[in-house]
Structure 1
Amino acid sequence: MTVRYYAAAQAAAGVPEEALEVPDGARLADALEAVLGVGRGPTAHAGAAAGALATAQRTAPPLAEVLRRCSFLVNEIAAKDPSRPLADGDVVDVLPPFAGG
């Protein structure tokens, strides 16, 4: 799976994108949890998005703070449900709020 970061999410993650291995049956919440563990402290176990963000408070506060405000696309389709299943080869885009009007 590939995770691509944009704007403030990229600044907080420190990379424009990264590859993650997700097990069969992984959900979007699990991917977010893995993102917070990659290169930023101990990898957390699978859990709800709220648990992932709580873990991030200890391992990567800037990224965790940005993720609270982000929208997510999975294969270019909006993903609002953290229990949305993921598959090998999926691309998750992390989109922080953009200014404008």
Structure 2
Amino acid sequence: MTRVRFFAAAQEAAGTDAADYDVATLGALRAELTAAHPALAGILQRCAVLVDGARVGDDTPLTDAQTVDVLPPFAGG
């Protein structure tokens, strides 16, 4: 089970700050998130998604992943 944490606009679109998912890859997680939270569809493609603190590709396995962070672009200085 992987803990997914949502921040800023992603948190608002998901309606929660965190949820647990059991999926094989980051790509499968993206599909699951979009299906579970349709409001994330437009935001997720612009988000940085970190798996245990690192940016990785959609084919990355999540079997040993502890945390996935969904971080929308931030504005400001």
Aligned residue type for 2:66: D
- Paired with 2:22 and 2:55, the residues of 1 have a C-alpha distance of 21
Q: Which residue of 2 aligns with 1:13?
A: 14
**Deviation of 1:82 (Å):** 1.0
The alignment yields a C-alpha RMSD, in angstroms, of: 1.5
TM-score scaled to structure 2, two decimals? 0.86
Q: Which residue of 2 aligns with 1:87?
A: 63
Q: Using CA pairs under 8 Å that are at least 6 residues apart, name the structure with larger relative contact order, 1 or 2.
A: 2
- Structure 1 runs of 4+ aligned residues shifted over 3 Å read none
SS in 2 for 1:31: helix
Unaligned runs of 5+ in 1: 41-59
1:56-94 deviation per Cα after TM superposition (whole angstroms, max 9, x unaligned):
xxxx1x210010110111011122x11111114521100
Higher strand share: 2
- Paired with 2:5 and 2:16, the residues of 1 have a C-alpha distance of 9
**Percent identity, aligned pairs only?**
42
Unaligned runs of 5+ in 2: none
1:10-53 deviation per Cα after TM superposition (whole angstroms, max 9, x unaligned):
0000000101122xxx1100011112233x4xxxxxxxxxxxxx
TM-score scaled to structure 1, two decimals? 0.68
Q: Which residue of 1 aligns with 2:43?
A: 66
Q: Larger radius of gyration, structure 1 or 2?
A: 1
Q: Which residue of 1 aligns with 2:26?
A: 28
Equivalent position to 1:78, from 40, 44, 55: 55
